[in-house]
Amino acid sequence: MTEVPQKKIGVFDSGLGGLMIAKALRDAMPDYDYLYLGDTLHMPYGARSAEAIYSYCKAAMDYLFSQGCQIIVMACNTASALVLRRLQQEYLPTSQTADKRILGVVIPMLEYAQDQGFQNIGVIGTEGLIKSRIYAQELHKIDPAIQITEQATPLLVPLIEHGGEKWLEAIISDYVQEFEKAKIEALILGCTHYTLIYDAIAGLMPEVSLLSQDRIIPDKFGDYLKRHPAQEARLSRNGTMSFALTDVTDSFRQSAARLIGYNPDLDHVVLDT
Ligand code: DGL
């Protein structure tokens, strides 16, 4: 009997935060097959050059497609900002990947903010993401009347990665001052890691609606599949989920078990960067 090739949904991130997006996608659409890849060897991406991130991401896409992914959700905001377009324009049109897709998270988040009718929003993210100005640029294509205030919050990823929760309140309070002045109605958590500190941010900004990717991307991805039935029809449906990392550490193992509720098998992969 010939084996039917798997056509999985790949979820790519630099590290831990992408697990939350993969888990949220699977919780919302449990029939499909998922493969999460975290580039933990090269994380954090936040202060790296676009050139370095492109070479990591291209190798990561090669790996995910070689493992049978049909569509890849580029969960990492920093990579979505700095290299997604180049991957779509230069990398995807090659013959091995021409029928495949790589989808980012920036535009779906902005569409959601617009659908909700917010007129004054904020974004937090890594230094690379905020310097790229991608949220402001894409928002102005969708609706130039919506105001946007952007703030880099580079200390948050290291604090989350190293268990520094006790300093979060002081640091977040300092970072959000611009948003208080701007009187934003909603704040986009523009980094997968921030899904993990949702409650801490919500506690400090109770009057602001927090737009968190684990709560928004699954519905937006579901909409994408409805609008692209030929892509959807290609996806395999065995309800599996697997995990791969470019560096497997005990601390990731422990955090992953806590976040997804069981001890996952973590495959170690070496990317050809
Ligand atoms: N996951 C990345 C993002 O969403 C941030 C973490 C990093 O700096 O690697 O932007």
Give SS3 for 131.
helix
Distance between CA atoms of residues 260 and 210, nearest Å: 22
- Ligand 1 center from residue 45 Cα (angstroms): 6
| Active-site residue (options: 16, 61, 74, 76) | 76
Ligand 1 atom with the smallest distance to the CA of 157 is 6
Q: What is the pLDDT along the chain (273 residues), one digit of tens a residue?
A: 445 567 999 999 999 899 999 999 999 999 999 999 999 999 999 999 999 999 999 999 999 999 999 999 999 999 999 999 999 999 999 878 889 999 999 999 999 999 999 999 999 999 999 999 999 999 999 999 999 999 999 999 999 888 888 999 999 999 999 999 999 999 999 999 999 999 999 999 999 999 999 999 999 999 999 999 999 999 999 999 999 999 999 999 999 999 999 999 999 999 998
The answer to whether 52 and 39 have CB atoms below 8 angstroms apart is no
For residue 43 and ligand 1, the question of a CB distance below 6 A is answered with yes
The answer to whether 87 and 58 have CB atoms below 8 angstroms apart is yes
Whole-prediction pTM: 0.95
Ligand 1 atom with the smallest distance to the CA of 75 is 4
For residue 124 and ligand 1, the question of a CB distance below 6 A is answered with no
| Active-site residue (options: 191, 196, 197, 211) | 191
Distance between CA atoms of residues 37 and 35, nearest Å: 7
pLDDT of residue 98: 86
User: Minimal CA–CA distance to 22: which of 261, 226, 202?
Assistant: 261
- The two three-digit tokens of residue 41, written as one number: 């060897």
pLDDT of residue 136: 97
| DSSP state at residue 190 | -
- The two three-digit tokens of residue 186, written as one number: 């909603």
pLDDT of residue 96: 84
For residue 212 and ligand 1, the question of a CB distance below 6 A is answered with no
